[in-house]
Structure 1
């Protein structure tokens, strides 16, 4: 079964993302938009795993979660991968305590590598995927809309847990089922340090 680790989004943020997708859909671009209920903050795509690995992954992720405190993030700014001028993926960025999210993802990545999962070579870029562009049709109009709303604030979320999701591809689209959830610790044991600010020595 295909699985990934992610952070579940609050309902209010999902509704805001749904309204945003509806607004962008009006551009008429050829995009496969993600349903609001299917949008997650993905931390690690695991690919195909065996049922017997579910508990092993849970125990490893639980240890990582216990070393990190909950933190706040804001969904702000629209963009595209690999670049905004010719995007293949449309996304909403994440701001706030980004260093905490990166530290959490980095430790998860390292722990899962020890379990035999392949380390992701691309740098982790915190974002929420809204859609994937299928053809150039209407793309420029979409790009113009994205540029006009680069600083748009969509909502906020508290990263307070890590969940394992199963992904199933159905004729109606992808279906995601949560298999377990590990809560972050209210008391931090080891989160690293934030990056130095301006004027730091």
Structure 2
């Protein structure tokens, strides 16, 4: 079984800027900068045959390159925060690419993604972090900015099933039009 998801890679220059946000919060397990990515569609644990179908379906995606602009920081989980992230500003190209992935995967029989698409780059996974401490961490970094970039491709990633945060492996890469 493979644990798969589609996403956009974060270039090293943007990853360096994101890595400056690391630290200053107990209970945080920081994602290594080489594993920063923007998930388009989490797929889950898939057998080899279905993985081949997914790779084939994704090869038919023909979309323009995707502009990516960072937009602040946040936390998932409300009063019980479980992850810190750098937000991504909405862009039509990004929304359309994600929606096409969703349609293609449903067409080959996978269930729909139950969560609303919230474009972001996960920075850390939290365990036992207090909401007040997380709010303070976010306040100190509220003005975060990083250079925008244009994603020239999307990828099919695999991950180990038992550990979030990487390492992630690029199984297939699909170019986007320039």
**TM-score, scaled to structure 2:** 0.88
1:18-167 correspondence to structure 2 within 5 Å: 18-21=19-22, 25=23, 27-64=24-61, 66=62, 68-83=63-78, 86-95=80-89, 98-137=91-130, 139-167=131-159
Aligned length: 176
Deviation at 1:47, TM superposition (A): 1.0
Deviation at 1:52, TM superposition (A): 2.6
* Structure 2: 5+ residue stretches without partners: none
Deviation at 1:180, TM superposition (A): 0.8
* Structure 1: 5+ residue stretches without partners: 187-201
Deviation at 1:71, TM superposition (A): 2.7
Q: Distance in 2 between matches of 1:170 and 1:114?
A: 28
Q: Report the equivalent of 1:190.
A: none
Deviation at 1:86, TM superposition (A): 4.8
> Highest CA radius of gyration, 1 or 2?
1
Distance 1:48 1:13, change over 3 A: same
Q: Distance in 2 between matches of 1:148 and 1:19?
A: 13
Q: Distance in 2 between matches of 1:183 and 1:134?
A: 37
Please identify runs of 4+ aligned residues in structure 1 that moved more than 3 A.
none
